[in-house]
Structures are given as C-alpha cells and as structure tokens.
Amino acid sequence: MFPNLRPDLPRPTGRPGPTHRHCHGQRHPWEQITGLEADNAALRERLADRDTTIAELTAFRTAAVSQLAVQHDEILRLRQQIAGRANIRILYPKPDNSHP
C-alpha cells in the first residue's frame, strides 16, 4: 500500500492512532468527552442540591415571618388589654445589682 515508507515507521491500519498531541500528555478526545460528561453530571447534581436548599430556606423564612406576625399581633392585643384596664400594673424586673 505504501511501499516507500521506512520499515521502522508504523503502517496505517485504517483506525486512528495517537496523534502528536496525544504523545505530549493530552487526553484523547473521547476521554475528554467522558470527563466533561462526568463534570457536567456533578455540576447538575450540585445545582439540584442548591435548588433544594433554596426551597427549604424559603419555606423556613416564610414560616418564621408568619410566626413573627402572630407574635406581633399577640403583643398588640396584650398592650390594648393593659391600656383598657386601669387595675393592671406593669411589673418590671428588679435590676440585678450583684454584678460589679
């Protein structure tokens, strides 16, 4: 097929062999594709985990704001109850003078 090739050179076999860049430590393109697909899968997993965390934190924030609103309404109700009755006195705790 190629009679003028030197005998110490490899003869073409019909399938691609290593090219110049493969000889210098670079990966074969199929290996690069496989590695990139694995990286892509890992990034998609991280993205899904992040989305789950965001959903959980949003639900927590909604519950916390709701609880704060209920507590605020209760405080306002108690203040109105105190203001409406003259026989209720507000007791403040004694100051703790034991600390220098």
What does the pLDDT look like over 72-87, one tens digit per residue? 999 999 888 887 776 7
Query: Counting Cβ atoms within 10 Å, is residue 22 exposed (0-12), middle (13-18) or buried (19+)?
Result: middle
What does the pLDDT look like over 7-65, one tens digit per residue? 565 555 555 555 555 556 777 888 899 999 999 999 999 999 999 999 999 999 999 99
The domain locations on the chain are 27-84
Is the confidence at residue 66, as pLDDT, over 80? yes
